[in-house]
């Protein structure tokens, strides 16, 4: 299985992140932009940072995509540039070169996670074990029945396998554009 690395690229140019340079000192808020995939996580981290460190303002988090965030990040160091670029990929060598040309020379790239699949059920849902075939049958557009492929009729887990709970199948799937996730329910 291919996992897309979720990365956060941070720069600390000419001092600490919290204001060693004159340009950084002129702005009292950490500015973050980039990947829409990382946006929900970065927003939660920024809010927790704001609650935990009252001497600092809550960081401002924006989106714009991995390339857009890294492009802003590599524009230079100062009051009018972002401090952290979120990316759902590694920083490219061409982006490192663009950063260097703009005076961003100390780049710290930190992997914060991987994309993945999470299965969750109600607390009172009982114990059961999902198998790969259950997952396929829950999310496929068409499923095999009677020797041919038919439109997926399954709306509850117990319809797929009697050993599974009689709970509605609910899939939460990121949008194709990797914008924040949307909830998708399949109806018969």
Walk along the chain (188 residues) and give the pLDDT tens digit of each residue: 333 333 333 322 222 233 333 444 567 899 999 998 888 888 999 999 999 998 989 999 999 999 999 999 999 988 889 999 999 888 999 999 999 999 998 898 888 776 666 777 667 767 778 888 999 999 999 999 999 999 999 999 999 999 998 888 888 766 555 544 333 333 33
| Same-domain status, 75 and 137 | no
Q: State the total domains in the chain.
A: 2
| Same-domain status, 93 and 168 | no
pLDDT value at residue 174: 61
| Same-domain status, 110 and 141 | no
pLDDT value at residue 84: 92
pLDDT value at residue 171: 80
The structure's pTM equals: 0.55
pLDDT value at residue 116: 66
Of the three residues 114, 148, 170, the one that is the final residue of a domain is 114
| Same-domain status, 66 and 9 | yes
Of the three residues 88, 114, 140, the one that is the final residue of a domain is 114
Whose CA is closest to 8, among 48, 37, 49?
Answer: 37
| Same-domain status, 74 and 164 | no
| Same-domain status, 82 and 39 | yes
Domain of residue 14, residue span: 5-114
Q: In the numeric block, which tokens belong to residue 42?
A: 């970065």
3-state SS assignment for residue 97: helix
| Same-domain status, 136 and 88 | no
How far is it, in rounded angstroms, from Cα 52 to Cα 173?
31
| Same-domain status, 34 and 89 | yes
| Same-domain status, 142 and 107 | no
3-state SS assignment for residue 183: strand
How far is it, in rounded angstroms, from Cα 50 to Cα 69?
22
pLDDT value at residue 23: 44
Of the three residues 114, 142, 168, the one that is the final residue of a domain is 114
| Same-domain status, 108 and 136 | no
């Amino acid at each position: 299985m291919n996992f897309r690395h979720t990365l956060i690229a941070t720069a600390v140019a000419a001092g600490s992140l919290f204001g060693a340079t004159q340009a950084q000192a002129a702005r009292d808020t950490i500015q973050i932009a980039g990947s829409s995939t990382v946006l929900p996580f970065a927003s939660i981290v920024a809010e927790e940072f704001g609650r935990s460190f009252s001497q600092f303002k809550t960081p401002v988090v924006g989106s714009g995509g991995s390339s857009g965030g890294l492009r802003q990040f590599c524009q230079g160091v100062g009051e009018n540039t972002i401090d952290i670029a979120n990316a759902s990929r590694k920083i490219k060598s061409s982006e490192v070169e663009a950063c260097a040309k703009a005076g961003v020379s100390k780049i710290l790239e930190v992997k914060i996670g991987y994309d993945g699949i999470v299965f969750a059920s109600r607390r009172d849902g009982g114990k059961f074990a999902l198998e790969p075939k259950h997952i396929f049958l829950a999310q496929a557009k068409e499923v095999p029945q009677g020797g041919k492929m038919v439109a997926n009729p399954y709306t509850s887990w117990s319809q797929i396998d009697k050993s599974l709970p009689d709970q509605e199948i609910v899939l939460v799937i990121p949008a194709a554009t990797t914008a924040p996730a949307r909830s998708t329910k399949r109806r018969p």
